[in-house]
Amino acid sequence: MKIGILTSGGDCPGLNAVIRGVVLKGTTTYGLEFVGIRDGWRGVVDADFFPLTRHEVKGLSKVGGTILGTSRTNPYEGPRGGAENIAKNLERHGIDGIIAIGGEGTLAAAKRLYDDGINVLGVPKTIDNDLRATDYSFGFDTAVNIATDAMDRLRTTGDSHQRCMVAEVMGRHVGWIALHSGMASGAHVICIPEVPMTIDEICTLVTSAYDRGRAPLVVVSEGFTLTGMEEAYSDKGLDAFNRPRLGGISEVLAPEIERITGIETRSTVLGHIQRGGSPSGFDRVLATRLGLHASDAIVDLAWGQMVAMRGTDIVRVPFAEALGELNTVPLSRYEEAAALFG
């Protein structure tokens, strides 16, 4: 059997480890043949394939980014898009199925193609940890480690100047990175999309930390909405992918905190640093295991499914179960962290 592998959507530490896991097990245990698909669904639509052997995946578990390249191409758009053309491309190159490594958007496209008769298997990817069918997604642990290291650094400079530091982390729809990095670094306030807060509530916590002799640390997810001040930053338009533009909530929060509390305040946006570089040990292992199990699933012809982590096991779940509602932070998890604020 010949299998194409693609990575699609935002990149994420661990993508290369998945590719290596799939190819190593698939070639040595099952005698499968692989081709890399360049730049996500773009490569499927344009038939942009290249041979992927053990040689190409050597030493990849520790390498950030993706050797395949990625894009946010929708396989149903454009003159060469659509299941019929894609099926022809695959047939012409003797490709029997595709492993699609990606997040919500990628998996939705994978499901649609599968429903249209194309053999697709999914592997979940998101630093935001927002896919509900997997307990953890690789990339998340790395992002939390990077953010935690950044918070620790912000705390020492904040302490030296007795300033309030506001750190903005990724998390378009969910607050997992903020929750975990905020807890890990002892933040005095964590602001996440799931839990609305007013500027006064935030300032009360900031002032209370300051009065206890601490330099307040506020961790905020990029997707957080400040109750009562939505208009101050929510109208930034759409990006090239029709998503609301995010980024900059910390730059709205910091001057407001300074104005209301009188405490000198600085903001930092961590941005794509959270997605770059080497995956953590945890993410290397998780991504590799997903890759190994993806190879098993191919041999079992388990198309239309996604490999996922449940507890410490890797399982298979149908695409339909993987899509839909996001894995948001439960209130109980937020309250655990909030018990440490005051």
Supply the minimum distance, in Å, between the C-beta of residue 19 and ligand F6P: 19
How far apart are the C-alpha atoms of 241 and 268, rounded to whole Å? 25
Residue 170 touching ligand F6P (CB under 6 A): yes
Nearer to ligand F6P by Cβ, of 13 and 103: the residue is 103
262 marked among binding-site residues: no
**CA distance linking residue 304 with residue 317, whole number of Å:** 9
Q: Site for ligand F6P (CB under 6 A): how many residues?
A: 11
The answer to whether residue 128 forms part of the interface with ligand F6P (CB under 6 A) is yes
Q: How far apart are the first and last CA of the chain?
A: 59
CA distance 25 to 172: 34
Give the shortest CB-64-to-ligand F6P separation in angstroms.
14
User: Sheet of 265-269: strands edge to edge?
Assistant: 189-191, 217-221, 164-169, 265-269
Does 197 carry a binding-site annotation? no
- Phi-psi category of 242—alpha, beta or left, where left has phi over 0 and alpha has psi -120 to 50? left
Which DSSP string corresponds to 150-203? Answer: HHHHHHHHHHHHT-EEEEEE--SS--HHHHHHHHHHT-SEEE-TTS-EEHHHHH
231 is in an annotated binding site: no
| Three-point CA angle 101, 56, 91, nearest 5° | 60
Q: Which residue number, 168 or 256, has a Cβ lying nearer to ligand F6P?
A: 168
* String marking each residue 209-248 x if it binds ligand F6P according to CB under 6 A: -------------x-----------------------x--
Positions annotated as catalytic residues are: 128
128 among annotated binding-site residues: yes
Residue pair 107/125 in contact (Cβ under 8 Å)? The answer is no
CB closer to ligand F6P out of 57 and 252: 252
Q: Identify which of residues 259 and 272 has a Cβ nearer to ligand F6P in the complex.
A: 272
| Interacting span for ligand F6P (CB under 6 A) from 21-29, 117-125, 169-177, 209-217 | 169-177
Q: Which residues contact 259 (CB under 8 A, 6 or more apart)?
A: none
Was 266 annotated as part of a binding site? yes
Residue 126 labeled ligand binder: yes
**270 within 8 A of 142, measured Cβ to Cβ:** no
The binding site for ligand F6P (CB under 6 A) comprises: 10, 103, 126-128, 170-172, 222, 246, 275
Binding site for Mg(2+): what residues are annotated? 104
Binding site for ATP: what residues are annotated? 10, 72-73, 103-106
Binding site for substrate: what residues are annotated? 126-128, 163, 170-172, 222, 266, 272-275
